[in-house]
Amino acid sequence: MSILEISDVTVDFGGNRAVDSVSLPVEQGSLTGLIGPNGAGKTTLFNVISGLLSPTSGKVTLEGQDITKRKPHQRARMGLARTFQRLELFTSLSVRENITVAGEIRNRWNMSDQVDAAAETERVIDLIGLGEVADAEVSEIPTGQARIVELGRALMTQPKVLLLDEPASGQTEDETVLFGELLKKLTGEGTTIFLVEHDMALVMSVCEMIHVLDFGKIIARGTPEEIQIDSAVLEAYLGSQN
């Protein structure tokens, strides 16, 4: 069952078509990947899904509801969370404070279902494995760990669907392995994850379904095994990764 559905989405910037009639489902509880060359339209599509950009045509549905015209904060309240290529953290605050803020904001918009922000922060910090740096300012920790802080902050909203845009950027090889295990744990607990990532080892090891975007169009979709031998994908993207 699809929890998130992108239907015939097209995005034009003047005379440039960045996304061209893209349709794809994201199944509930799945870990779905979106890959493709730089400039393929991946982040543009994420911006449409999260409400930062209105499509020229097409629609986005979440749990069967048309959210195409909903604002970003409305989508967040419906259970959609997102991280960004560029880190968007409060660098003067600690790891713990960055995560707690998200819980406090969630409590403000959901008065009928309050969480103990302090207790939930500790649970999330333990889940993402940042206990040793919980009291450090975000500006003092490596980029790879800062990416995990951003994930933790998104988790504090208790999302139904989590959009991750290049979340492994800046991580060491060991950090990426642990990160992949964390993503699989999250989907195992019921969180749906839609992932844009250039680290093919990570994508191929964690994703159940992969969609490949090139020049704004979906050129292939399938399991990691199917994508790795797809001739169109090899020509457009994976061949350049070797």
What per-residue confidence (pLDDT) applies to 200?
93
Question: Phi, psi at residue 56, to the nearest 5°?
Answer: -65, -40
What per-residue confidence (pLDDT) applies to 105?
83
- Domains of the chain plus CATH, in order, are 2-79+159-241 (3.40.50.300), 89-158 (no CATH)
Helices (H), 39-172: 42-50, 72-77, 95-109, 117-128, 143-155
What per-residue confidence (pLDDT) applies to 115?
80
Give the integer Cα–Cα distance in Å for 149 and 140: 12
CB 37 within 8 A of CB 236: yes
pLDDT band per the 50, 70, 90 thresholds, residue 240: low
Give the integer Cα–Cα distance in Å for 231 and 115: 49
pLDDT tens column, 186-233 = 999 999 999 999 999 999 999 999 999 999 999 999 999 999 999 989
The region of weakest confidence among 6-20, 65-79, 81-95 is 81-95
pLDDT tens column, 139-180 = 999 988 999 999 999 999 889 999 999 999 888 899 899 999
pLDDT band per the 50, 70, 90 thresholds, residue 7: very high
Instruction: Answer positive or negative: Cα dihedral of 61, 65, 69, 73.
Output: negative
The residue that leads in pLDDT, 241 or 121, is: 121
95-109 helix and 143-155 helix, angle to the nearest 10 degrees: 20
The residue that leads in pLDDT, 108 or 204, is: 204
Question: What pTM does this model have?
Answer: 0.89
Instruction: DSSP for 34-47, please give it.
Output: EE-STTSSHHHHHH
Element (H, E) at 226: helix 224-228
Residue 1: Cβ within 10 Å count? 9
